[in-house]
Structure formats: C-alpha cells, structure tokens
C-alpha cells in the first residue's frame, strides 16, 4: 500500500467557468461564505502542525478555481517555504494564468496542470458553460505563458466526453509531439451529475489508446507519474500521454492522496463521501493540535478500507457535493 503523503487543497469553491462535468447545468450551487472558508492562517497552521507531522509532504492547490483565491501567491510562497514540502503543484483552468504565471513561479510553484478540454473554441465554450465572449484564447495564452516561464512538467487535463470532444483526441495527443507537454485524458466521472450525458457516460482509456496507437503508434513511457495516470508516449515525442481511468480500471491500491475542502473538511476518497472529518470547527474552538493530528492519523489508518470496500457506495447514490465543491 502506498504511503499517503499527497494532499489536494481546495482554496476556494467558486469558479469563473461552469464546466458541465464539474458544475451540472441548472444546479444551484450554495457557495461557501467567505467566513466559512479556512483563512490563510488556519490553512497554513493545519499544513504545518497537522498534515506535515503525520507525513504529508506533497501538496496540490485546487478549487473551484484556485487563482480566484485572494492572496494565492502568498499562500504558494508560504507552503513552498516549509522545509518539509517536497512538491507543490496547482490545477487551474488557466483563464487568469497569463498574468500570474511568473509570480506563481517566483513564489515557488513548479508544476501546473491546466484544464484544456478542446482545441475548438466553440466546443470549449460549450463545455465550460460559457454564454458570452469566447474564453479559449485567454486560456491558450495562459498555457503559453506557463510554458515560457518554465513550468515543468506542464500538464494539460482533458476530460473526454463522448459526442462532445472525443473526436479531438488525436489532435490533443499530437500536442505532445513537438512540445514537452504532458496531455492527460481523464474518464468523465458522474459525481453529482450522473444524468448529465445520459448513457453516453465515459469512454474507456483503452479505447482512446487504441485510436492513438492506430494513428501515431504508442509506447509505454519511461516516465512514471506519482499519481493514478498510466503514462504512454508517441514514439519520438517530446511530451507524454497520461490516462486516468477511474471508471474503467480501479487504481485504489495506488492512491496516495486525501482532499481538504475549502471549508476545512478532510475527505479520504474522491469516490466515497463517507468518513470525512471536519477540521475547521475544532480548530476554531481551540482544540489542541495533537488531537487533530490523532484524528487524521486514524483516518489514514482506515483509508485502505474506505478505498476498496466502499468504492461503490459513493458512485451509485447522489452526491451532496459536486466536483467543484470537492476540489476535483
């Protein structure tokens, strides 16, 4: 069993996009009020006095859209400065990235994942739920800025949706040929929105791999990620292709992560809503940090059980939080 040393931290549950797979259309989301969010001080204290002491050394900042969080550069700088921090990454939609990439890099961020579900501006706007001016160009500029600043690896996340963007799989894969970019195809997950695409659901990663294999060839990459992606490469390409197959292939035995929501709930498994613990309320009530550490240790101890035995309990029923509220 992997050591669980990787914490995904949601900085905010708001987003400037409404991607259908993340925020179902028509769903009225109750955003966390600002006073219910962990403050910068509370978040950093939890990292330093609870998560690092129990073994977390790698952190990823998510949302919602993390670049909407006020003071995000300072948060990055503070986490990067902890001597125990071995890795600090961010997942963003890239819309605000062009103007912030250099500052984020200077603050200590080194790895970045940017969501890019389509190379076609119209399809892109359909997926992100945009009704006004196209946002594709600004996201593309954010990707270019991150690349020029020196983020490595630069990863592009693609949620593949049948009948919407699956015809672009080859074009997206081809981005890795001449650039040291890492494109990751993610099976659509019906979390909080199981009715969204009806029976179209998701496309198994193996089917996508076969399409790419038929066109370009495909080899298993020498690069091995630390997460759930199976990594491949088009022969001779500078970048890699990753496949995250949470629907067609179980990777619970490789799971090394937990998730902290913007309002302070620690969630041990994305696909299971059980066993979450509230850290914010006891923190604000003055509970001793040793007590919080003990609670997190207990959760770490039972995580393998949560991963495996209750894997189905989350995906069949209704979720109380959408993906955007979990921190994706």
Residue numbers in the known binding site are 8, 15, 19, 21-22, 60, 64, 91, 115, 155, 189, 252, 255, 257-259, 269
**Pairwise pLDDT comparison (8 vs 327), residue with the higher score:** 8
Residue numbers in the known binding site for GTP are 8, 60, 91, 155, 257-259
Residue numbers in the known binding site for [4Fe-4S] cluster are 15, 19, 22, 252, 255, 269
Q: Say what the pLDDT of residue 98 is.
A: 98
Residue the block writes with tokens 């080859």: 170
pLDDT band at 317 (very low <50, low <70, confident <90, very high): very low
Distance of alpha carbon 125 from alpha carbon 145, whole angstroms: 21
Write out the H or E segment, with its range, that includes residue 44: helix 40-46
Q: Say what the pLDDT of residue 12 is.
A: 94
* Range from 130-134, 252-256, 324-328 carrying the lowest mean pLDDT: 324-328
* Range from 135-144, 178-187, 248-257, 264-273 carrying the lowest mean pLDDT: 248-257
Distance of alpha carbon 142 from alpha carbon 153, whole angstroms: 15
Q: Say what the pLDDT of residue 313 is.
A: 43
Q: Say what the pLDDT of residue 18 is.
A: 77
Residue numbers in the known binding site for S-adenosyl-L-methionine are 21, 64, 115, 189
Residue-range domains of the chain with CATH: 6-308 (3.20.20.70)
Edge-to-edge strand list for the sheet holding 219-220: 219-220, 230-233, 240-244, 181-187, 154-160, 111-115, 87-92, 58-62, 6-10, 257-260, 265-267, 277-278
Name the token pair of 161: 């949706």
CB–CB of 38/88 below 8 Å? no
* Phi (first) and psi of residue 10, to 5 degrees: -80, 120
Contacts 24+ apart (CB under 8 A), 127-132: 127/19, 127/20, 127/21, 127/161, 127/164, 127/165, 128/17, 128/18, 128/19, 128/93, 129/17, 129/18, 129/19, 129/20, 129/23, 129/25, 130/17, 130/18
Q: Facing residues of 218 across strands?
A: none
């Amino acid at each position: 069993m992997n050591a669980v040393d990787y914490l995904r931290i949601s900085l905010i549950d708001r987003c400037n996009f409404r991607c259908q797979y993340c925020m179902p259309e028509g769903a009225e989301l109750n955003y966390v009020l600002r006073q219910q969010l962990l403050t910068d001080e509370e978040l950093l204290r939890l990292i330093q006095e609870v998560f690092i002491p129990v073994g977390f050394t790698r952190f990823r900042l998510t949302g919602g859209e993390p670049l909407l969080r006020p003071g995000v550069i300072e948060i990055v700088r503070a986490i990067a400065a902890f001597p125990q921090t071995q890795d600090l990454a961010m997942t963003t939609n890239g819309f605000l990235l062009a103007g912030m990439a250099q500052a984020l890099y200077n603050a200590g961020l080194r790895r970045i994942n940017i969501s890019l579900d389509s190379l076609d501006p119209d399809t892109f706007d359909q997926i992100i739920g945009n009704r006004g001016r196209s946002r594709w160009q600004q996201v593309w500029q954010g990707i270019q800025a991150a690349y020029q600043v020196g983020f490595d690896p630069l990863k592009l996340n693609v949620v593949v949706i049948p009948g919407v963007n699956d015809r672009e799989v080859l074009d997206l894969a081809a981005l890795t040929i001449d650039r040291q970019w890492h494109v990751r195809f993610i099976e659509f997950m019906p979390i909080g929105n199981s009715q969204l695409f009806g029976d179209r659901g998701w496309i198994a990663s193996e089917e996508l791999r076969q399409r790419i294999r038929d066109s370009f060839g495909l080899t298993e990459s020498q690069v091995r990620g630390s997460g759930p992606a199976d990594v491949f490469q088009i022969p001779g390409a500078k970048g890699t292709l990753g496949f995250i197959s949470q629907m067609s292939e179980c990777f619970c035995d490789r799971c090394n992560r937990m998730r902290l929501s913007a309002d302070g709930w620690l969630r041990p498994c994305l696909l299971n809503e059980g066993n979450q613990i509230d850290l914010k309320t006891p923190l604000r009530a003055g509970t001793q940090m040793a007590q919080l550490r003990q609670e997190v240790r207990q959760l770490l101890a039972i995580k393998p059980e949560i991963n495996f035995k209750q894997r189905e309990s989350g995906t069949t029923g209704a979720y109380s939080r959408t993906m955007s509220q979990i921190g994706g």
